[in-house]
Amino acid sequence: MARIGILTGGGDCPGLNAVIRAVTRKGVNVYGHAIVGYRDGWRGVLENRTMHLTPENTSGILHRGGTILGSSRTNPFKEDRGVELVKENLKAEHIDSLIAIGGEDTLGVADKLTDTRDVLVVGVPKTIDNDLNATDYTFGFQTAVQICTDAIDRLHTTAESHNRVMVVEVMGRHAGWIAIHSGLAGGADAILVPEKPFDVEEVCEHIRHRHHRGRTFSIVVVAEGATPKEGAETLQSNEKDAFGHVRLGGIGVWLENEIESRTGYETRVTILGHMQRGGTPTAYDRVLATRFGIAAIDAVEDGDFGKMVALQGTNIVRVPLGAAVGELKTVDQSLFDAAAVFFG
Ligand code: F6P
């Protein structure tokens, strides 16, 4: 019997509980291991705050959003004696290996700990932003896209009634996956992503063109990290988190003003914010998260550490953690070109 730790780090995401449930169910019932949950991501490892997980106390959580373990953006590499504390506390709890569920930051820590050769980790890719490399999709992304698409559908009808331009700001710090997918699904008339700095006059031209063709409303989807050609990211706050990220937000409000003043069309902005991360995961994300959880505990059983489980095509595979972190997966040109057919 081994003692296996599990933690959820970074921004929460629908499907985290499905991974925890799958790891625990197979880890205990099939392999006979003990599963130790760490509270609040890497913070719980630094402070040795744990929760014993069993098939019983992880039952009934498959459909629940958030994470029963809690999450944080703590970076042990930025804390005083952080890495030593991680090693000491894992040893004190007799933890043989760890399953870290997270995005670029949490798995970046897992990768660096792997390099120390003292911590055995398997990673599970999580982020609504879908910007992790080496996996076709992360769980949580599909749910976020569905939430945004539902919102765009609702905004469509009110836009139509009032002859308005609706700007919808969605998440996506460095990559426009949510914007492009929800924009495509919702029939957006312009989609603005961080990968492609935009010309605001061109966006206004699309809208004018639509209106000249007899359309009386338009929908513009913008990722929070999108920037105008002549500008920088719009920030909520300059303060950086432990991974060096500032808080983005405000591009939607900026666009609302620019579009209204340049075109004369009445414009309204909706910022979907954390709505996109909350609530129940879609069936797709429950299945993907469950498959990732099973694959992660299988990798632990095989002693295949320093890996991340990943979706490639329809298969769950194992890739080196280093292949997943370091460089973000951004929206490819062909997807953007497909969306652009419907602009203006
Ligand atoms: O998880 C990534 C993300 O969704 C980003 O798109 C966004 O910038 C960030 O989380 C905001 O998270 P928080 O407000 O929790 O720091």
Q: Contact, 282 vs 146, CB < 8 A?
A: yes
CA distance 173 to 130: 11
What count of other Cβ atoms lies within 10 Å of the Cβ of residue 152? 23
User: Which residues form ligand 1's pocket by a CB distance below 6 Å?
Assistant: 10-11, 127-129, 171-173, 224, 248
Same topology for domains 3-139+281-325 and 142-278, yes or no? yes
Residue nearest to atom 15 of ligand 1 (CA): 11
> How many A from CA of 214 to the centre of ligand 1?
38
Residuewise pLDDT in 10s, the chain (344 residues):
999 999 999 999 999 999 999 999 999 999 999 999 999 999 999 999 999 999 999 999 999 999 999 999 999 999 999 999 999 999 999 999 999 999 999 999 999 999 999 999 999 999 999 999 999 999 999 999 999 999 999 999 999 999 999 999 999 999 999 999 999 999 999 999 999 999 999 999 999 999 999 999 999 999 999 999 987 888 888 888 999 888 888 999 999 999 999 999 999 999 999 999 999 999 999 999 999 999 999 999 999 999 999 999 999 999 999 999 989 999 999 999 999 999 98
> How many A from CA of 302 to the centre of ligand 1?
34
Beta bridge partners of 165: 218, 267
Buried b (16+ CB within 10 A) or exposed e, 309-344: bbbeeeebebbebbebbeebbbbeeebeeebeeebb
User: Which of the following CATH numbers is that of domain 142-278: 3.30.530.20, 3.40.30.10, 3.40.50.460, 3.20.20.70?
Assistant: 3.40.50.460
12 vs 9, 17, 203, 317, 335, CA distance in Å? 7, 10, 33, 23, 27
Residue nearest to atom 2 of ligand 1 (CA): 11
Class of domain 3-139+281-325: alpha beta
> How many A from CA of 105 to the centre of ligand 1?
12
Tell which atom from ligand 1 comes closest to the C-alpha of 73. 16
**Active site residue: 12, 40, 111, 129, which one?**
129
Catalytic site residue 129? yes
Q: Contact, 213 vs 206, CB < 8 A?
A: no
CA distance 233 to 153: 27
Tell which atom from ligand 1 comes closest to the C-alpha of 274. 14
Structural domain boundaries of the chain?
Answer: 3-139+281-325, 142-278
257 vs 200, 203, 252, CA distance in Å? 11, 13, 9
